[in-house]
Amino acid sequence: MGWLDCPLASVQVSVERGRRSDARGNGCLVQSSRRSVARPVERNPLPAICDVSVTNVCNAACDFCGFARDKNLAGPRRYIDPAEFSRALPILRRRRIRYMTFQGGEPLVHPDIVALVQAAAKAGIECGLITNGWFLPEHIEALAAAGLKRLLVSIDSDSMPKHDANRGLSGLHRRIAEGIARARTFGIPTSASVTVSRLVDYEALPETLERLGFHAVTFSYPNREAFPSNSLVYSEHSALIDQQPDELLEALAAIRRMKKRFRVLNPAVSLDEVARSIRGEQQLIPCIGGHKYFYLDWNLDIWRCEAWNQPMGSVFDLDDFPDQRDECHACRMACYRHASALMHGAIAVTDSAQALVHGDLPRAIRSLWQRGVADSIWALAAEHYPRLALSSQKRRAGQYAAATQPSQE
């Protein structure tokens, strides 16, 4: 018996509530309770993703980010509670969350970041982390031992003097290169996370990334408007991201050209969707936020996404919440755009299979007939799976080379 056997009736479960937050991000404790919860009839069986902001504190001073150390925090300093986070992990697992990225602020300023990664890894969740890289050399060995599998490091420019100046951290690029080199010895692949801004020369960027030791790059898109959530990954005043539509479209074209020279993780279909958004055209692929992608903040509130206007509620009530599957194209956040482009087709196929199991042929056909399904499946077939196969081959070759290398003793 497997996922097709999802229970159809209410079940008695124990729901222990943890910390909640008000609109200002202030945490408070509420009492535990036991009550009957009507579980959803059936959920799509594909794995889900969760970005976890472990703190609102950052040691950098990025011009286009509200988390910068020289800007005002939205409320007091916050650090996610490790014990409460560990208690939330079985709930996240029940929601089929199998991939998690720790972020901030700067996640490496959290005093228990290694314990957080270790707890999630032991729960069977593949962990990644995005960092500015300053503390990476000191932490990477412990993070690798804790079970970290993926690493992303923010890069703001092809010019390292400009990058370090924007981050307000002199010599940062040298610490990044050292951290990446050490991560490679532990078998952790490192991708650059680059915000589309006026600091980036896309023609010169590949050489810089190769020199630093990156194996791939993912691009995010500038946020000019304040988020209604407690996320501060935006700037209303930075001239570096005050880009007009034509400027953004040219940046997307440059990223497409860069795909021929360096490994760019953003699928072409996702770049096309962002271009449609910039031009004000109809988009094809709905966001999977609130269904297969979630945002968990330092108060342990769970959100549909960072750009949403209110949390779904406490993570400890996640079993209660239905999937949010109404169509949304409101923001251009690359993490959601990227995942949605790759998962939309697979979700449609599995939804269709579930409908067929229940004898609902019209629903099965409707699932496959949605806009963007073919584009998404093509993105998986043409970009994602070949990339995975190539990575697997390189990993096996590296393991073989390490095993057959003569001893230096």
Residue 33 within any structural domain of the chain: no
Residue 291 · residue 323 · CB < 8 Å: yes
- From 260, 135, 136, 242, select the one nearest 199 (Cα to Cα): 242
Q: Examine the domain organization and report whether 300 and 371 are in the same domain.
A: no
The rounded distance, in Å, linking the Cα atoms of 394 and 1 is: 37
Q: Examine the domain organization and report whether 59 and 146 are in the same domain.
A: yes
| Per-residue pLDDT at 385 | 57
DSSP string for 118-182: HHHHHTT-EEEEEE-STTHHHHHHHHHHHTEEEEEEEE--SSHHHHHHHHT-TTHHHHHHHHHHH
Residue 402 within any structural domain of the chain: no
- From 345, 309, 342, 346, select the one nearest 324 (Cα to Cα): 309
Last residue of a domain, one of 274, 298, 326: 326
Q: Examine the domain organization and report whether 111 and 212 are in the same domain.
A: yes
Residue 269 · residue 376 · CB < 8 Å: yes
CATH number at residue 146: 3.20.20.70
The CB density around residue 232, as the number of other CB atoms within 10 Å, is 23
| Per-residue pLDDT at 38 | 42
- From 219, 207, 157, 145, select the one nearest 182 (Cα to Cα): 145
Q: Examine the domain organization and report whether 321 and 341 are in the same domain.
A: no
The rounded distance, in Å, linking the Cα atoms of 133 and 281 is: 37
Q: Examine the domain organization and report whether 228 and 138 are in the same domain.
A: yes
pLDDT, tens digit, for every residue of 226-279?
777 777 666 667 787 788 999 999 999 999 999 999 999 999 999 999 999 999
The rounded distance, in Å, linking the Cα atoms of 392 and 149 is: 14
The rounded distance, in Å, linking the Cα atoms of 192 and 196 is: 12
Residue 55 · residue 80 · CB < 8 Å: yes
Task: State whether residue 90 is helix, strand or coil.
Answer: helix
pLDDT, tens digit, for every residue of 210-223?
999 999 999 988 77
User: Would the pTM count as exceeding 0.85?
Assistant: no
Residue 217 within any structural domain of the chain: yes
Residue 381 within any structural domain of the chain: yes
Q: Examine the domain organization and report whether 230 and 376 are in the same domain.
A: no
Q: Examine the domain organization and report whether 336 and 239 are in the same domain.
A: no
Domain that holds residue 387: 328-395
Q: Examine the domain organization and report whether 319 and 333 are in the same domain.
A: no
- How many structural domains does the chain have? 2
Angle between helices 82-94 and 113-122 (to 10 degrees): 30
Angle between helices 334-357 and 268-279 (to 10 degrees): 110
Q: Examine the domain organization and report whether 246 and 352 are in the same domain.
A: no
Residue 194 within any structural domain of the chain: yes
Residue 134 within any structural domain of the chain: yes
The rounded distance, in Å, linking the Cα atoms of 259 and 266 is: 9
Residue 40 within any structural domain of the chain: no
Beta bridge mates, 12: 36
Task: State whether residue 230 is helix, strand or coil.
Answer: coil
Q: How many helices (H) and strands (E) does the chain have?
A: 12, 13
Residues of the chain with pLDDT under 50: 1-41, 388-390, 392-409
Residue 202 within any structural domain of the chain: yes
Task: State whether residue 214 is helix, strand or coil.
Answer: coil
| Per-residue pLDDT at 309 | 85
| Per-residue pLDDT at 261 | 93
The rounded distance, in Å, linking the Cα atoms of 409 and 407 is: 5
Q: Examine the domain organization and report whether 172 and 104 are in the same domain.
A: yes
